[in-house]
Amino acid sequence: MRLTVAAVLLSITVGSSPLDAAEPIVPKQGSEYTVAVYYWPNFHRDAYHQSKKGDGWTEWEIVKNGKPKFEGHDQPKQPLWGYRDESDPKEMARSIDAMADAGIGAIIFDWYRYDDDIHGGVMIEKALRQGFLQAPNRNRVKFALMWANHTYIDCHPFAPGVWFNNAPVWRKGEVSQAAFERHTQDAIQSYFKQPNYWKIDGRPYFSIYELDKLVHGLGGVAATRSALDDFRARVKAAGFPDLHLNIVDQEALKHASELVRGQPCPDNPARKVETVPDLLAALKVDSSTMYTWVHHLWPMLVKQAEQADAKPAAETKNKAFGLADDPAAQTSASKTPKKAGDVPAETTLLGRAAQAGVVATDYAEYGQRAMRVMDERPGALNVTYFPHVSMGWDGSPRNYSMGIVLNNTPEKWGEFLRQTKGWLDRHPESRGIVTLNSWNEWVEGSYIEPDVKDGTKYLDAIRDVFGPKTR
């Protein structure tokens, strides 16, 4: 997945009087859980990337070229099972078995569709079509789609001096109504009808990554609602009770609400869309969840002094993201130790990072802040919310100009899984559903696919926490 400018979360301002929310999900009885993991499908030869990066290129090339920035920095990452071709059903079958054995119940594939004539607007889909759907054991896990509708830029990796605001744009994220209908109809025919497509109360789960791109491309609240209503009608015509529409919780929600502020609600034109909850209700969104913690915790990964300094516009655009007024987030980066000898033994890695000029945050503190954010988001959005756990963050192989998360051990990962399980037990309306980042975001340092360093320990932690009750 590509982190985008719109995906780096600012503090979302919400009003106190949202429009009528979409009909809530009625929680089932019992204590079952659905663990759903995001999947980034760029580890096979895709025609578009071959044309841009050369024959034989896959994202494994970026993984291989990861460089340590200081002593003890875990780069490059080394996959335990080698640099596999995920479009090979045998290799995908190995992944499926590992997931299912750990208690993962669903894979959410990042799904790339565009409004252009390049390969029919389809990109990096062979992992799903050829790998997953042809795997002999595919029915061991469910699968679903998250339309990764962000603008696709060249960050493979970023060239020196290039960042999200000035990177070459390869494909635009916005789509027209005709393209929306074409791609969603293919989703219905090619994927929703598969026997192991993930459904909630019989309704196919379909997620959209950047709501602002959708609303902008379709032309506002009324046009977007009309397109979504038509999508739902086609889903029902295909034999399903309805669609389960999920929107990823990130900065794009705020951008979308700003784009349409003051536009009438389709169900009640006398009322206007003013806030994020208003917009989600107007579009009849069923649920929300995160893709990654970093969308909400950006300030923990930048230098606070640099945020405060006056900088040229091009530079400050790259810095001024995140929950800027959140003292809990700001405190972490400012406390980064300057000398390894000034900190206890367990944090000496942070000290080495500081000496090398790398902003780093300890995973324990990073996750603790994420747990607090998880408590805030359902009320802020006024929609059914599925909690999320991220394994880590280190985008240095892509030359991301932000900090990294250190000490994200399997044990700490397991602790945040346990806390999230407790959260689910206290919030039955969330149906026992949790999303994870991710199976294979190797170049963003947030993956649970086995590596040489830790083997299957991150998967083992999922099994140990969610266990046999996981569905």
10-56 pLDDT, tens per residue?
333 333 333 333 344 333 333 499 999 999 999 999 999 999 999 99
Q: What is the pLDDT of residue 106?
A: 98
Residue 299's domain is classified under what CATH number?
A: 3.20.20.80
The rounded distance, in Å, linking the Cα atoms of 389 and 434 is 8
What integer is the mean pLDDT of 311-317?
A: 33
What local confidence, expressed as pLDDT, does residue 468 receive? 57
The pLDDT value given to residue 163: 87
Q: For 206-239, how does the pLDDT look when each residue is reduced to its tens digit (9 = 90+)?
A: 999 999 999 999 999 999 999 999 999 999 999 9
- Domain count for the chain: 1
pLDDT of 1: 62
pLDDT at 401: 84
Integer angstrom CA distances of residue 139 from 125, 194, 424: 19, 10, 26
Using pLDDT thresholds of 50, 70 and 90, give the confidence band for residue 315.
very low
Helices marked H in 303-437: 304-308, 313-316, 327-334, 348-355, 363-381, 410-426
Helix (H, G, I), strand (E, B) or coil at 451: strand
pLDDT digit string (tens) for 130-145? 999 999 999 999 999 9
Q: Classify residue 61 by burial, with Cβ atoms within 10 Å: 0-12, 13-18, 19+.
A: middle
Nearest CA-CA partner of 208 in 242, 174, 257:
174
Are 336 and 353 within 8 A, CB to CB? yes
Percent of the chain with pLDDT over 90: 80
Average pLDDT estimate for 161-189: 96
- Say whether pLDDT at 318 is over 70: no
Please calculate the CA angle 55-58-62 and round it to the nearest 5 degrees: 120
pLDDT tens figures, 82-105: 999 999 999 999 999 999 999 999
Cβ 382 vs Cβ 280: under 8 Å: yes
For residue 471, give both structure tokens.
């569905």
The pLDDT of residue 313 is above 80: no
Q: How confident is the model at residue 312 (pLDDT cuts 50, 70, 90)?
A: very low
The residues with which 111 forms a beta bridge, in sequence order, are 147
Least Cα distance to 471 among 205, 240, 199, 207 occurs for: 199
| The two structure tokens encoding residue 215 | 């609303």
Extract the tokens encoding 340. 């390894």
Contacts of 294 (CB under 8 A, 6+ apart): 3, 8, 301, 390, 393
Rounded CA-CA distance 330/100 in Å is: 38
What integer best gives the mean pLDDT of the chain? Answer: 88
- pLDDT digit string, tens, across residues 400-435: 988 999 999 999 999 999 999 999 999 999 999 999
Q: What is the pLDDT of residues 292-304, one digit of tens each?
A: 999 999 888 886 4
- 4 pLDDT exceeds 50? no
Q: Which residue has the tokens 């929950």?
A: 323
pLDDT tens per residue across span 111-120? 999 999 999 9
Tokens of 468: 């046999």
User: What is the C-alpha separation between 203 and 240, in angstroms, rounded?
Assistant: 6
| Domain span holding position 346 | 5-469
Report the chain's terminal Cα–Cα distance, integer Å.
26
Percent of the chain with pLDDT over 70: 83
Q: How would you classify the pairing of strands 446-447 and 440-441?
A: antiparallel
- Determine if residue 431 is left, alpha or beta; phi over 0 gives left, psi from -120 to 50 gives alpha, anything else beta: left
Which pLDDT belongs to residue 11? 33
Q: Which residues contact 413 (CB under 8 A, 6 or more apart)?
A: 363, 389, 391, 458, 461
199 and 238 in contact (C-beta within 8 Å)?
Answer: no
Q: Is residue 6 pLDDT above 60, yes or no? A: no
